[in-house]
Amino acid sequence: MPYQPRRTWKIVTEPQSEPVTLAEAKANLSVDFTDDDSMIEDLIVATREDAELFTRRGFITQTWDLFLECFPSNDFRDEIEIPINPLQSVTSVKYLDTDGVQQTMAVSDYIVDTSSEPARIRPAYNTSWPSTRDQMNAVEVRFVAGYGDATDVPKAIKAAINMHVAGLYDHREAVTDIKVEDNPAASRLLWKHRILESF
């Protein structure tokens, strides 16, 4: 079986808006006062982050860095799988060469598949991944993910966020740590958008 290197990823640029606006959430909650606006906004963000983690997606456009210990083995599965989808674009693929110098791969040396989910990157035809120094996080892939803006986010995802925000708001005075996946109605809407790892 081909070697798949350990992966870690971190966000570089947070989404600049939320899939559900404060006004939309308040309308769903039938709240017509402003006292709880800050709390409702926090609930929207928390729910969106939880739903993104559950689905392995980014809803609004955001930029991430993916780190790997090395490139995948040059075998049948020599592809890099993108952990946050849908993938819009790959900004760069960088790596530490055997001398420890960071290099940036030419765009012509790899192919980006944005149609698949999870999205993936493979070496271009008749090429292979370069050798890297034996060092943690030797490979760095910067990519942009997300549906776009709020109008591009599927309605089922928005509905799930609204449902979960409503549940958290209704129980705001209780000590609770209910994840979106534990909310039957919300998780049911999100399941069809969930991406499972292929390895």
Predicted pLDDT of residue 97? 97
Question: Tokens standing for 28?
Answer: 């769903």
Instruction: Compute the distance between CA of residue 184 and CA of residue 190 in angstroms, rounded to an integer.
Output: 10
What is the model's pLDDT at position 1?
46
Q: Nearest to residue 71, comparing CAs of 60, 79, 63, 61?
A: 79
Is residue 17 within 8 Å of 149, Cβ to Cβ?
Answer: yes
Q: What is the mean pLDDT of each run of 10 residues along the chain (199 residues)?
A: 74 98 98 96 96 97 97 78 97 97 98 96 94 95 98 98 95 75 94 81
Check residue 9 and give its pLDDT.
97
From-to residues of CATH 1.10.3230.30 in the chain: 18-59+150-191
- Is the full-model pTM beyond 0.85? yes
CATH number of 18-59+150-191: 1.10.3230.30
Torsion of Cα atoms, 168 then 171 then 174 then 179, to 10° = -30
